[in-house]
Structure formats: C-alpha cells, structure tokens
Amino acid sequence: MYSVSKHSLNDQKFTLIEVVHKDIKVTFMDYGATILSIYVPDKDGVMETIVMAYDKLESYIENDMYLNAIIGPTSGRIQDATFRIGSESYVLDKNFLGTENLHGGKECFAFRFFEYEIVDQTDQTTITFTIEKREEGSAYPGNQIVKIIYTIKEGELSIEFTGETDKDTLMNLTNHAYFNLSGNMKRDILNHRLYVDSKYHLELNDTLVPIKISENINTRFDFACLKKIKNNFYDGIYDLKTKGIDEPFLLHTENIDHVQVIFTDDISKRGLKVYTTYPCIVIYTHNYPDTLDLLNGVVNRRHLGVCFETQLEPNGINIKNIDDGILRKGNEYYFKTIYKFYVEE
C-alpha cells in the first residue's frame, strides 16, 4: 500500500511517497531518491523511525551530511579528484579541502530530482527511481542512465543499483542512510552492538582518501564479534582526522545470502542485518554533524547515527590491486543490498 504527496518549496515541487507493509513504513522523496523515514516496531510494538531525519524538508536541499540520499556518479573520495581511463585523464570537482572529490562533488545525485515509477503488490511495493547523467557539462565521460530500485516488504528494504553507459566511465552508487535503532534518535549509537564480517579495511591518508589495504584485527575496525561500538572507541580516537570510524570495510564474499553486518540496540531490542553483492561497506559513525535541525528538536551531535554505505572500493581506480570501478560501455552496472529489520527475542 502506498500514498503520494506533493510539497512546494522555493518554487520547486517535491514528491513524497509513503509505503506501508505490515510492520514497516518507509517514506521516500524524489529529490536525491532520499529515504526520509523507516518506521519499524521495538520490543513493545512501538513504531519509531530508525534513520536520522532533518526537521524541515528544505534541509534536504543543502544536506551537507548527504542524509539518507543516493550517492553517485561516484561515492567516497577520489584522490586529487582525478582518474584515468586508458589515455584520458579526468578532473572532477574538488569539493573536499579543495583537493579531493567527495561523493561526485556538485554532480552528486543527492542534489538531483529522479523520475519515479511505483509497482504496488499485496506483499511488496517497488519504487524505481531513474536519473540520466549527460556527458555535456559533466566531468565524467559518457551518458549514463541510473535506476535505483527500492523494494519494501515486511521487515525488509532492499536497494538495487543499476546503470548503463555509452562510454567507459567511473560509477560507484550507494545509499547514505544513517541508522539509529533507539527510535526517533532517542540515544546515540555508541551503545549499539555491531558485528562486521570483514578482516580488512582501506586505510585513509591525511585527507581521508582510501589509499591501501590494512588488517582489522585488534584495531578499532575489529568487529569480528558482536560488541558495543564504544568498546572500539579508545581514548585519543577524537585526535584522529576521522573523529570515529569512516573507513571502507572489505568483504570476503559478495553472496547476497551472507550476513555482512549485524547491528542491534539492547534497549529497544531492534536489530538490523545487512546483505550485499557489493565488495565493500563504508561504515561512518556520523563524526561530522552539520548544524541543520533534526526531527522533533533532537540536537544534531556526533554518533547519532551510523551509515552502512555498500559500494565498490572508493578511489579503487587509484589504488594498486583494487578493482578500478570502471563501467565499460555496453556492460550493465548491477548490485543489490538488503536491510532486514527484526526484534530480538
């Protein structure tokens, strides 16, 4: 079941789509193909949203945090905002520290309207958001058509990332949802428990660009057993440039049936499992809050949410022995991620 509503802001029309299936209610917006809320029950059946949310719709226009939006043409940072394909060199928008490209810079899909199509069935609803990226006026080569397919069913939200191009180009799509299982952002996520099936991460340089593979064991990235996130937050972590965790975690299997991440909250008893065919998940513990108001007057602060941004290895094209992330002309870009919500017994 779904409903559509239109909202005018600064002479622009925004479309909101609310989908309900038994114990899950998700609201999307066509701008950025953004997730505005995901309501699921806690141990007492109380329905609350488990993603961070701005108070005002217009905050999603600025959206310095890329809150819950689709990221593309590329995700993460690209070193020197530069990449080469064959003999051609491309220079992107240097929107981070004036030297790096972050999340596609001014071309980021978080700041663009998508077309949408809804298919509503008894036990699931699918929304296909479509966007075209033209070569004209773009720093990326080629013309692309990108489709983001959200499927909502009982206890589950899946995202299919698809794309095609008429010229070899760089593509790395993700969703930048900030999860917080306490419900309506009642508490921060440091006491949430986290398990990540990953033995390696990409180490970041001084400008937070991924540069090389590094081991997780006995570091702040070691979540090989389910533990409170704060257990890996040692004294001195805030002296780091990242102010928390902001690294790409490398996955050892791209099997959609394999649980890659388990995320739980002891108080609400809500749980989230993440599955993906992507080789990597950037885990970001919301270390750089912006100043925009959040829903219900909640004060925006560090670690009020955590992102599980499934994607190709960011900056892979500039790192030896890592997949370059090039989408070749005629090849289909296709990856799937599933977020499964549940209440612990």
* Residues binding ligand G6D (CB under 6 A): 65-66, 208, 246, 284, 288
Q: Write down the least CB distance from residue 246 to ligand G6D, Å.
A: 5
Tokens in use for 324? Answer: 């370059």
Three-class SS state of 318: helix
Min dist. Cβ of residue 244 to ligand G6D (A): 9
CB of 76 to ligand G6D, least distance (A): 7
CB of 64 to ligand G6D, least distance (A): 7
Which of 318, 305, 285, 286 is closest to 202 using CA atoms? 318
Asked if 325 contacts 317 with a C-beta cutoff of 8 angstroms, the reply is yes
Q: Output the smallest distance, CB 67 to ligand G6D, in A.
A: 8
How is 244-265 classified by DSSP, letter by letter? S--PEEEPS---TTS--EEEE-
C-beta of 116 vs 284, nearer to ligand G6D: 284
For ligand G6D, the closer of residues 101 and 260 by Cβ is 101
Q: How far is the CB of 108 from ligand G6D (least distance, A)?
A: 11
CA distances to 1, 152, 226, 252, 277 from 194, rounded to whole Å, are 32, 24, 5, 18, 20
Residue closer to ligand G6D (CB basis): 38 or 202: 202
Q: Which is nearer to ligand G6D, 30 or 246 (CB)?
A: 246
Q: Is the CB of 141 or the CB of 305 nearer to ligand G6D? A: 305
Minimum gap (Å) between residue 304 Cβ and ligand G6D: 13
Angstrom distance (rounded) from CA 69 to CA 178: 10
Cβ nearer to ligand G6D, comparing 15 with 99:
99
Tell me the DSSP string of 61-80.
HH-TT-TT-EE-S--SEEGG
DSSP 11-60: TEEEEEEEEEETTEEEEEETBTTEEEEEEEE-TT--EEE-B--BSSTTHH
Smaller CB distance to ligand G6D: residue 238 or 288? 288
